Amino acid sequence: MAGWWYLGGAFLLLFGILLAPYLYKINWIKDLRLEGKGKKVLANHLESKKRKLGKLPPVYPNGWFALLESSQLGRGQVKHVAALGQNFAVYRTDNGTVRILDAYCPHLGANMAEGGRVKGDCLECPFHGWQFRGSDGQCDHIPYADKIPHIARTKTWKCCEANEIIFVWYHAEGLEPHWEPQTINHVLNRTWRYQGRNEFLINCHIQEVAENGADSAHLSAVHGPAIFTKISRFLSSFARHQWSNVNWTPHNSFLESLSSKEGNESKKQNGENLRHRAYMTLRHRLILFEKFEVLHLDVNVQQIGPGYVELMMETSLGSMCIFQTVTPMEPLLQKVTHVMYSPPVLSPYASMLFLGECLMFERDVAIWNRKKFEKQPLLVKEDKSIIAYRRWYSQFYSQHSPSYHAAMKSLQW
């Protein structure tokens, strides 16, 4: 059995090397809502209008959300991002600091991210040249005025960069962040390299995307058939994916388990501020002819807040990771991205795995685009992780978190 395992691994590595020129640094961008020819796109659009929404949770939870990738914003650049019911002007100063202001100038409403200029720490409005500091939003200069009104300021947004991603802090009650995404050392010191990305636009509630992690039963149903099913039914008849050792745990439960094993109460106390984390483990095998097991992957997942996930993958050839971000562009429109990093020597293998991840994720998207949110789902005891997930996720909603109808009204003129 071990010989077949190594032989299968060697074959897959060779396959990846041969395909490396085509797969290296994948940039996979899809909007499956618009897939197909004109008539099919129109039919999908009309069908989506008929879809029942269900009783939805608030549409914008509290937490850190990705707006851009670091490579998309150079020094002295400003970009407009509409998300979370807001319009952001995201810019990078000449010294490399990222700032985020409300996009609309409080003077006469011009969008400062469209044609605005970066001046030191300030963003200059293209309409009349007013300059607003990124540090506190205060107007710093009006080219034709002798005195600047003390009320001349715009809203600033807390932001940070981690793992080459630019995040903004959103909180319906205006509370300050008590945690931040942290950069993984392998990405920070460049020992792991960027291997590719994908991007999907999905019609669903943000909570449903991460809920897949707690829904172990869907793995066999949705992700059991081999990834080349669409290419050839013959090929798919002798291969399938097997998922095992699946476990989803919120941080507090994980910590209690750890403390009981180690008898270390200090770990429990130190972890009280990590309630925003949850953990998942799973093991993948590709089964050939119902006899041989190849492509072993052990995946350790951290859900960090409502819209950010780190997937660490242990393979027979080494470690690699995928960062997933979920950002509500509109109440039921999520932008989901995956960015992959690995050691340079594993680039071909990482590209092959990432292609598989892209194809697998499309299966989830096809369901999300058409499903209804069930506030009180009919569950069996084997679905208990879904209940635990929803209880954990509810911490990201607060009194003034916007409902679907309130958020939709704000989008209408």
Of all residues in the chain, the percent with pLDDT exceeding 90 is 72
277 in Cβ contact with 257 (< 8 Å): no
The sign of the torsion formed by the CA atoms of 396, 401, 404, 408 equals negative
Average pLDDT, the chain: 87
Q: What pLDDT is attached to residue 1?
A: 45
Dist CA 240 CA 328 (whole Å): 33
Comparing 209 with 412, the larger pLDDT belongs to 209
389 in Cβ contact with 278 (< 8 Å): yes
9 in Cβ contact with 177 (< 8 Å): no
Reported as a single tens digit per residue, the pLDDT across 330-347 is 999 999 999 999 999 999
Residue 407 CB contacts under 8 Å (≥ 6 apart), including other chains: 59, 60, 85, 330, 331
137 in Cβ contact with 154 (< 8 Å): yes
Q: What pLDDT is attached to residue 225?
A: 87
Comparing 305 with 36, the larger pLDDT belongs to 305
Average of per-residue pLDDT across 26-47: 62
Taking 90 as the threshold, does the pLDDT of residue 24 lie above it? Answer: no
Dist CA 128 CA 105 (whole Å): 10
Report the Cα–Cα distance between both ends of the chain, in Å, rounded. Answer: 65
The sign of the torsion formed by the CA atoms of 253, 256, 260, 264 equals positive
Average of per-residue pLDDT across 338-357: 94
Taking 70 as the threshold, does the pLDDT of residue 405 lie above it? Answer: yes
Taking 50 as the threshold, does the pLDDT of residue 392 lie above it? Answer: yes
Average of per-residue pLDDT across 383-393: 97
Dist CA 401 CA 378 (whole Å): 26
Reported as a single tens digit per residue, the pLDDT across 173-202 is 999 999 999 999 999 999 999 999 999 999
Which two tokens mark 167? Answer: 């995040």
Q: Which amino acid is at 129?
A: G
Average of per-residue pLDDT across 26-48: 62
Which two tokens mark 358? Answer: 């892209």
Q: Which amino acid is at 54?
A: G
Q: What pLDDT is attached to residue 30?
A: 76
Nearest Cα to 54, choosing from 397, 396, 377? 377
Dist CA 205 CA 264 (whole Å): 39
Burial label for 155, CB within 10 Å (0-12, 13-18, 19+), is middle
Which two tokens mark 194? Answer: 């960027």
DSSP 41-83: HHHHHHHHHH----SPPPSS-SEEEEEEEGGG--TT-EEEEEE
Reported as a single tens digit per residue, the pLDDT across 253-288 is 756 655 555 555 544 445 558 999 999 999 998 888
* DSSP label of 289: T
Nearest Cα to 102, choosing from 119, 125, 70? 125
Comparing 233 with 62, the larger pLDDT belongs to 62
- Give how far the C-alpha of residue 64 lies from the chain's centroid of Cα atoms, to the nearest Å: 10
pLDDT band at 31 (very low <50, low <70, confident <90, very high): confident
Dist CA 16 CA 18 (whole Å): 5
Dist CA 202 CA 205 (whole Å): 9
Taking 80 as the threshold, does the pLDDT of residue 11 lie above it? Answer: no
